[in-house]
Copies of this chain bind each other. A is one copy, B any other.
C-alpha cells in the first residue's frame, strides 16, 4: 500500500496586471497566482503494485499576487500532516482526511476556517481529492457522482450546519435525485454546462474593447455577460449601454429557451433573452450599495455581485430587500470565507445566486456541503471562476451539482474566463454553444495539474520569466522591502 512520502510547493505568478485583465473596483493590479502543491507517493516495501508507483496529487489555491508565499507557508504546514499516511486509508474516509487538516488546534487559531489557513486547506484537500480520482482512473466529478448518497454525505463538511441541514436530510435529498442521475449525466456529457463570460467587462477595458469582446462572446455562443461596476455611475452606464445595445440586438436572439423563460424576471429580461450581470467587488457600505445600484436600474442586470463586505450576511439581506422592487437580485460567494457564512446567507434570504469558490472554501469537502445547503434552500450555485485554475476546478463541481445535488439547474451558470488555460495539462474548454465541456480524461483527476514548463517559467521570483524576461517588474515589486 502506497503512502504519502512528501510534497513540493510552488509559488507561481502570472504577470496579468500588465494587460488590465482581472481589473475591478477593488482589485486594481492582479497578478493571477497559484499557491501550488504536489503530493508525492511511493509504494511501501511490502507492495507489489506497480500501478501506483508514480501516483501524485496536484492541488492549488488561487491568489492575485502578493501573499501567495504566505499561503504556501501554510500549505507546507498542512501538508506535513499528511506525510506518512497510507493513501488508501485517506481515501477510505475523506471526511476524516478533512478533519485532520482543519482540526489542528494550534493552526486553527490563525483562522479559524478562514483566510490564509483556509485557502491553504483548499489546496491540500484538493490535492488529495485529485490523487484519489487519479487512483480510480476517473475525473473527480465522476468519482463523486458514482458515490452513494451516504458516501457523499460522509465526505461533506457538515460540522456547524445542523441547524440548517442535518446529515440525514442531506442523504434523503440525494436519494431523491438518484433515480434520474444517469439521465442527467448523459445530458451533461452531450450538452455541457452553461457558462457566462466575465472577460468582456473588466474595469480597465475601453468601451471599444468591451464592444469587440461582447460581439466575440456572442459569436462563441455565450448569452450571459458580466460587467464590473462601482467606480463611476456614468462610466458604468456607458459601458453597460455598449453591452446592452449589442446583446439586445435581435440578430443575437438567445436560442436557449430555458434561460429566456426562467432565469430572468419579466422586466429585466431584455428583448433577446441575453443576460447582463454586474459586479462591484465589495466597494460599498450597505445603504450606499442600494442607492448606487438603483442608479444602474436601466442596465437591467440579473444581479449585483458583491455589493458590500462579504462577511456582511445581514447587509446582503438588507440590500436584497432594497433592490427587490426594481427586480435586481444579489449574488456573492467568491470571498465567502466558509460554509457557516454561506449557511447564514441562505438562512437570512440574503442571496439569489450562490457563487462558491473551489479553493476559498477548503476544498471539495466543503464545496459539497455548500452545494447541499444551496439545494436545500433552492438557491442556484453559479461558481466563481476565472483567475488561474478556477475554471479547471469548478466544472467538476458543477457537474456534481447538476448530476447529483441541485433540484433544478435552470438558473445555474458557470463563470468562464479564457485566460491561462494553456498552462494546464488537462485544460477545460467551452463548446460552440458557450457551454463548458465535461472533463473526460480518465487521468485528469481534478484537472489542476500544470505543465512542468509553466511551473518553471512562472515560479516567483526565480522562474525564468520573473528572473530574466521581466527584471524591471521584479525589482519594482521588491524595492519596498527593507527587512533588517
Give me the interface of A with B, judged by CB distance under 8 Å.
5-9, 26-31, 40, 63-67, 69-71, 73-74, 76-77, 80-81, 83-84, 104-119, 159-163, 282, 285-288, 308-315, 318, 335, 337-338, 340-341, 343-344, 347-348, 480-484
Contacts and interface: CB of A to CB of B under 8 A. Distances in A.
Given A70-B70, A105-B30, A6 B483 contact: yes
B340 A110 contact: no
B116 A344 contact: no
Contacts of A287: 162-163
A107 B477 CA distance: 13
Nearest to A38: B484
8 contacts: A31-B106, A63-B106, A66-B77, A69-B73, A80-B481, A112-B335, A160-B312, A311-B338
A67 B63 contact: no
A112 B65 CA distance: 14
A104, A161, A285, A311 pick with most chain B CB within 10 angstroms: A311
A11 to B, nearest CB: 12
A112 B67 CA distance: 12
Contact of A112 (B40, B84, B159, B310): B310
Nearest to A62: B109
Nearest to A344: B314
A40 B484 contact: yes
B160 A106 contact: no
Contact of A482 (B80, B110, B163): B80
Given A63-B109, A114-B311, A312-B344, 17 more contacts: A6-B483, A7-B483, A30-B105, A40-B484, A64-B105, A65-B109, A67-B107, A110-B115, A110-B116, A116-B116, A161-B285, A163-B287, A163-B315, A311-B338, A311-B341, A312-B343, A313-B313
| 6 nearest A-B pairs in the assembled complex, by CB-CB distance | A115-B115, A116-B116, A6-B484, A66-B106, A163-B286, A65-B106
Contact of A115 (B28, B30, B111, B347): B111
A282 B65 CA distance: 33
A84 B110 CA distance: 29
Contacts of A6: 482-484
A336 to B, nearest CB: 10
A112 B7 contact: no
Contacts of A309: 112-113, 160, 340
Contact of A77 (B40, B70, B115): B70
A358 to B, nearest CB: 15
A28 B348 CA distance: 34
A161 B311 CA distance: 12
Contacts of A484: 5-8, 40
A105 B27 contact: yes
Given A105-B30, A160-B312, A286-B163, A117 B67 contact: yes
A421 to B, nearest CB: 21
B114 A119 contact: no
Contact of A106 (B30, B107, B111, B285): B30
B285 A162 contact: yes
Contact of A83 (B5, B118, B480): B480
Contacts of A64: 105-106, 109
Contacts of A70: 70, 73-74, 77, 110, 116-117
Nearest to A33: B106
A196 B101 CA distance: 35
A170 B256 CA distance: 52
A83 to B, nearest CB: 5
Contacts of A481: 76, 80, 83
A160 B117 contact: no
A28 B105 contact: yes
Contacts of A30: 105-106
A291 to B, nearest CB: 11
Contacts of A282: 112
A29 B107 CA distance: 11
A413 to B, nearest CB: 24
